[in-house]
Amino acid sequence: MSTQTQSPYMPHQDRGENMVKSNTLRIVVKECEEGTTTCIGYDLYRCINGRWVLIKTNAPECGYEAPPTIPTEYLLIGAAAIGIFTMSMMYIAMKKR
């Protein structure tokens, strides 16, 4: 059974963490305990072989809420309305000639 942990990106060097350095970015990666999970933003990570491995993006477990979807019926009604409008405008344009 996995337990939820803090984000692996915490700036505490006294907890056995590794530092990732570059000229523009400093990230502290917290070491992990096998099987634990953590969220980084909306992405869910699991500790596998001592490394954080991304297992699910946009995870509901990390607070992600999917945007509402538009039912297909509404799309069909909208397409039909556009088609009727277009045909009406074409009919009016042809009649004026």
- Averaged pLDDT of the chain: 76
Distance between CA atoms of 50 and 35, rounded to whole angstroms? Answer: 9
Strands (E), the chain: 18-21, 26-29, 37-40, 43-48, 51-56
Percent of the chain residues topping a pLDDT of 70:
68
Q: What is the pLDDT of residues 19-40, one digit of tens each?
A: 444 456 555 566 789 999 999 9
Q: Model pTM greater than 0.85?
A: no
Dihedral (Cα; 74, 75, 81, 86), 10-degree rounding: 170
